[in-house]
Amino acid sequence: MYDPTDSTVLANGIAIYAKLAAVQMLPGFVPESALQVFRSHYDQIVVTGTSDDQAPNNGFKYDVPETGGDMGGAVLTVQSELDYVNDTGGNQQVNLFQ
């Protein structure tokens, strides 16, 4: 993960180059827009001088950024998340593990 608004982060340039390379040169890469699954996010503690609790957000709810951890999270379809958010009045499929 990286902050695309932070000009000091080297990952921004690497991510941009990787996207270009994937589309133009490496047919084995799947473009981000074509991915139909994701991993459920969970609460994560981030230590940045002081502990900071990152609540889980899967990133498909309008105007809510992706936050929390996703390693080991249950694999879900994007459509199931969109349906769940709409059916439950904004809840997300978070804290689900494999």
| 74-98: pLDDT as tens digits | 999 999 999 999 999 999 999 999 8
User: Can you give the residue ranges of every domain in the chain?
Assistant: 1-35, 36-98
Q: How confident is the model at residue 21 (pLDDT cuts 50, 70, 90)?
A: confident
Higher pLDDT, 47 or 41: 41
Q: Are 87 and 79 in contact (CB under 8 A)?
A: no
Higher pLDDT, 39 or 10: 39
pLDDT, mean over the chain? 83
The answer to whether the predicted template modeling score (pTM) of the entire model surpasses 0.75 is: no
Q: Are 66 and 58 in contact (CB under 8 A)?
A: yes
Radius of gyration of the chain from Cα atoms? 15
